[in-house]
Structure 1
């Protein structure tokens, strides 16, 4: 069952493939999937025999972001606030852990790549998309904020493109994602995506492992992805919005496939 194995991990020599495996939810990030990611990233941080990590999604989609069914709850407000803040803080740390890996990380994107899925795509060193990929940062339409993905989007695309993307919150196609630099290359279909992925893996494996890891370290040394206090501020902002009446309405509207009825 997918929910029993929310992250499928396979190994072919030095190449690790991590496939988000909740296809019935377009691979939305559940608590269980997040915990599986954290275990894998801790292992890879200490594994010098692994050289490439490929991130993908099962069932023709990459990742639809946070599983919104886990946001709503009947907890007391202060409990909900604390839980959402802790979860969002960990989400930000997870993207940082991906970027800090000594391995070269490649994202192979098909279908939906929304919200937190964008964090995985942009924390990766290299991102490829099939022509059917669709990208969105829809948080404000759910009464939420794109807290922990924002620095990674800005690092990949620059502030002007990201500003429009997160404020309009519209879906963009693969061609537009390539134009604004969200992905490095767009391939016509899944077959071409797979071929490009294998060619890039082969090219990376031609490099010296130590030199590749040192090069990633130098790229990181060019500057932090966000100011030191940003992650905590983002977690607090997400927790406030996730506990708000706006989020309650936005998530209800999303589930009912209707437009939200905002007040104020």
Structure 2
């Protein structure tokens, strides 16, 4: 999907169907402060909206979302301010993923290209995830000196703890067939056109369900058990803030920007 509007989040509504298009294609739709503010406002509105029945989350420019914009996360700040900002950012991430999962609407993630880090969290918080054949998935946080704090429970909920553990510890990129085999996505389509067509069919299927019954069914799914243990979100936020404000993150983000290996990685033979 391509988009030319300058807004970092494009919202399109057709009747009961809402589309949220992450729109920073030059940054592979990495999430900056403006984008998440707009996304959080949309989600807050949808939580009270009983006329919207489906939310489709996608990305512009052939990618879904590369996660947090590290140019913001790595901005130089006094230590105390940096710690506080990272703590606030990660708490909001936890709330955002929980809100997506508990919306009364059926949430569909339509994934092309990169779905990394926080983008991967959006995929797993959605009710249904579809991907094109060239989609790629990764939780690269530890390679940046960070931790996958708030996405980890959602990965474990979707994939199982063992598969999620391997993904975040190895931090390697996996392809769409692998994502399908491990339960990360529900279906893989050959290309972007097929993905769009399948999303349209899926939306039509969902709209066959009664609005109230769908919302109640989602509430029952939530009642089966929380994806995130009660103590976890704050512990994750604290861990992320400590790492993000530390020297490893400073080096990891600098290495990522410079396209070099961080100092802790072995030198290729």
Same fold (TM over 0.5): yes
Give the structure 2 partner of residue 138 of structure 1. 140
CA distance in 1, matches of 2:171, 2:246: 19
State the match for 1:149 in structure 2.
151
Q: Is there any run of 5+ residues in structure 1 with no aligned partner, and where?
A: none
CA distance in 1, matches of 2:71, 2:59: 20
Structure 2: unaligned runs, 5 residues or longer? none
CA distance in 2, matches of 1:231, 1:168: 23
Report the Cα offset of residue 262 of structure 1.
1.9
The answer to whether the 8 Å contact 1:249/1:262 transfers is no
- Cα displacement (A) at 1:186: 0.4
Offset from partner CA, 1:226-245 (integer Å, 9 cap, x none): 21110000000000000111
Q: Determine helix, strand or coil for the equivalent of 1:29.
A: coil
- Distance (whole Å) between structure 2 residues aligned to residue 193 and residue 249 of structure 1: 38
The one of 113, 116, 122 aligned to 1:114: 116
Q: Distance in 1 between matches of 2:6 and 2:100?
A: 23
Match of 1:178 among 177, 180, 199: 180
**Counterpart pick for 2:165 among 139, 163, 166:** 163
Partner of 1:73: 75
Contact 1:61 1:112 in 2 (8 A): yes
Deviation larger for 68-77 or 156-165: 68-77
Q: Deviations over 1:134-191 (max 9, x none)?
A: 0000000000000000011011000010010000000000000000000000000001
Task: Tell me whether 1:203 sits opposite 2:205 in the alignment.
Answer: yes
Once superposed, what is the RMSD of the aligned Cα atoms? 1.2
> CA shift at 1:4, angstroms?
4.4
Task: State the distance in 2 between where 1:243 and 1:64 align.
Answer: 21
Q: Which runs of 4+ in 1 moved over 6 A?
A: none
Name the residue aligned to 2:18: 16
* Structure 1 range deviating more: 21-30 or 68-77: 68-77
Structure 1 residue 89, shift from structure 2 partner: 0.5
Structure 1 pair 261–149 and aligned structure 2 pair: CA distance change class (3 A): same
1:213 and 1:74 map into 2 onto residues whose CA distance is 44
Q: Structure 1 residue 58: deviation in Å?
A: 0.1
Q: What SS does the aligned partner of 1:207 have? A: coil
- Corresponding residue for 1:224? 226
**Secondary structure, aligned partner of 2:64:** coil
- With normalisation by structure 2, the TM-score equals 0.96
Contact 1:128–1:185 (Cα < 8 Å) also in 2: yes
SS in 1 for 2:130: strand
Q: Distance in 1 between the 2:252 and 2:152 partners?
A: 20
**Rounded Cα–Cα distance in structure 2 between residues aligned with 1:43 and 1:107:** 19
Q: Deviations over 1:94-132 (max 9, x none)?
A: 010111100000000000000000111010000000001
- SS of the equivalent of 1:108 reads strand
Q: Is the 8 A contact 1:143 1:241 kept in 2?
A: yes
Give the SS at the match of 1:74.
Answer: coil
Separation in 2, partners of 1:140, 1:111: 21
TM-score, with length taken from structure 1: 0.98
